[in-house]
């Protein structure tokens, strides 16, 4: 199991903290999921107050602050520095949005912000596309983790481009990779782990479900199943049938 800047996660599920019906349901969902990391935006912490931060600390999970909603390098860097002060961690999930409708990352500014933050001592988790060249640039900028999107944030579409995600896993075999955004169903999360990804980050699929606590439990089991399936070395898909019963020794009647 790969480590994230020297930290090995007990559970490869990273769970967001926004949009839950209530703080109590958020807490229950986290406990059911067994998630090892909570992603938290600086603005949410500011709005919810000390009680929210105390609840997150009581969960006993690692905190990954994010720069959600930032559209410029300056804005993202400033937000990251503020988050480090508030949450007392070098970790930062770097979001730098370039397209309003799809919330697609602005990969040009993303690389620049990653370079600046890395030089400032941050351990950057960049929310990026599934582009291999962008991945290379982020690693060259000092990132040790890549977080490609499965689909647009909150869309619930799953893994839109499996080919690209497979290519990224093959291109960067030693880099921790996290599917971030687009997960809507437990089957999506399981599939991400089956492809050999090291973790899944999701929020909306749990927080906006009819029963967030039950969905959190389902996601946890799906991720475990996908991880085990990958470790088991599954069979390759075939175009032709292959009998499961051997034909050797079978009697042939003329």
H/E segment holding residue 84: helix 73-87
What's the angle, vertex CA 9, arms to CA 79 and CA 178, rounded to 5? 60
Contact in structure between 44 and 51 (CB atoms under 8 Å): no
Judge whether 154 is annotated as a binding position.
Answer: yes
Active-site pick, 2, 74, 90, 93: 93
CA 167 from centroid of its chain's CA atoms: 17
C-alpha dihedral, 5 to 8 to 12 to 18, nearest 10°: -60
Contact in structure between 182 and 149 (CB atoms under 8 Å): yes
SS3 state of residue 81: helix
SS3 state of residue 62: strand
Q: Could you confirm whether 74 is annotated as catalytic?
A: no
Judge whether 181 is annotated as a binding position.
Answer: yes
Max intra-chain CA distance, the chain: 84
Judge whether 66 is annotated as a binding position.
Answer: no
Judge whether 100 is annotated as a binding position.
Answer: no
**For residues 129 and 83, what is the distance between their CA atoms, to the nearest angstrom?**
24
Which of 188, 196, 251 has the alpha carbon at shortest distance from 229? 196
Which residues are documented as binding site for 1-deoxy-D-xylulose 5-phosphate?
154, 181-182, 203-204
Question: Which positions are catalytic?
Answer: 93
Which residues are documented as binding site?
154, 181-182, 203-204
């Amino acid at each position: 199991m790969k480590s994230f800047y020297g930290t090995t996660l007990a559970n490869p599920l990273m769970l967001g903290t926004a949009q839950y019906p209530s703080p109590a349901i958020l807490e229950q969902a986290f406990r059911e999921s067994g998630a090892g990391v909570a992603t938290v935006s600086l603005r949410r912490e500011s709005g919810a107050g000390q009680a929210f931060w105390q609840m997150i600390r009581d969960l006993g999970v690692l905190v990954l602050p994010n720069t959600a909603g930032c559209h410029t390098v300056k804005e993202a860097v400033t937000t990251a520095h503020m988050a480090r002060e508030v949450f007392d961690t070098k970790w930062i999930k770097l979001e730098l949005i370039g397209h309003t409708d799809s919330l697609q990352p602005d990969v040009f500014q993303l690389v620049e912000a990653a370079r600046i933050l890395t030089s400032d001592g941050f351990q950057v988790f960049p929310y990026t596309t599934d582009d291999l060249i962008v991945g290379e640039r982020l690693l060259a900028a000092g990132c040790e983790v890549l977080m490609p999107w499965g689909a647009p944030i909150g869309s619930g579409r799953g893994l839109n481009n499996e080919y690209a995600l497979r290519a990224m896993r093959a291109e960067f075999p030693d880099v921790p990779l996290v599917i971030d955004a687009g997960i809507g169903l437990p089957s999506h999360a399981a599939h991400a782990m089956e492809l050999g990804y090291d973790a899944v980050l999701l929020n909306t699929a749990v927080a906006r479900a009819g029963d967030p606590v039950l969905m959190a439990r389902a996601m946890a089991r799906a991720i475990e199943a996908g991880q085990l399936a990958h470790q088991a070395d599954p069979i390759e898909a075939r175009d032709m049938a292959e009998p499961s019963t051997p034909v050797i020794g079978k009697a042939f009647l003329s």
